[in-house]
Amino acid sequence: MATLFEAYVTNVGKYSEGQLVGETLKFPTTAQEVEALLKRIGVDGVRYQEIFITSFDGDVLGLYDHLSEYENLDELNHLACLLSGLTSSELETLEAVLDSGDHCSSVRDIINLTQNLDCYGFYPGVSDEETLGRIYVDDLEMLDVPDQVKPYFDYEAYGRDA
């Protein structure tokens, strides 16, 4: 599987003792890879139990703005698996929604979002309300405007409301 994003996973206990012990984990991953990484950074479940994520890196624009240092590795992996199944068009839509800040306050929200991208209409290159109004009326026919009325129709106002 191709890497979609990666996180630098750090041992909290060692960090509070003044040592930066961590390693990069690439997503999507396997349970065995996670277990091996935790062992390598000293998270043994007894003395050292907690991790935090120092940084994220990857190609999904805006994703890291909505992820925190205490994300669940299983949820991140599930998100990566879902992202790997998206088409380039769906990925572009996801990035636009992430940029808008809607429904992306947690990994669970973003997971839900990836499964509901069909609820969003993304039109690349639309930069103003009039163009959006024209797409909705002329191309998508979401409003029936008679041809004789179109020269007088306020596409900008309709695009703003849409």
Q: Which three-class secondary structure state does DSSP give residue 53?
A: strand
Contacts of 13 (CB under 8 A, 6+ apart): 42, 43, 47, 48, 49, 50
Q: Inter-axis angle of helices 88-100 and 107-114, to 10 degrees?
A: 140
The reported pLDDT for the residue numbered 121 is 78
The reported pLDDT for the residue numbered 1 is 60
- pLDDT tens by residue, 89-141: 999 999 989 998 878 889 999 999 999 999 887 787 788 999 999 999 988 88
What's the whole-number mean pLDDT along residues 38-61?
A: 93
Q: Supply the pTM of this predicted model.
A: 0.80
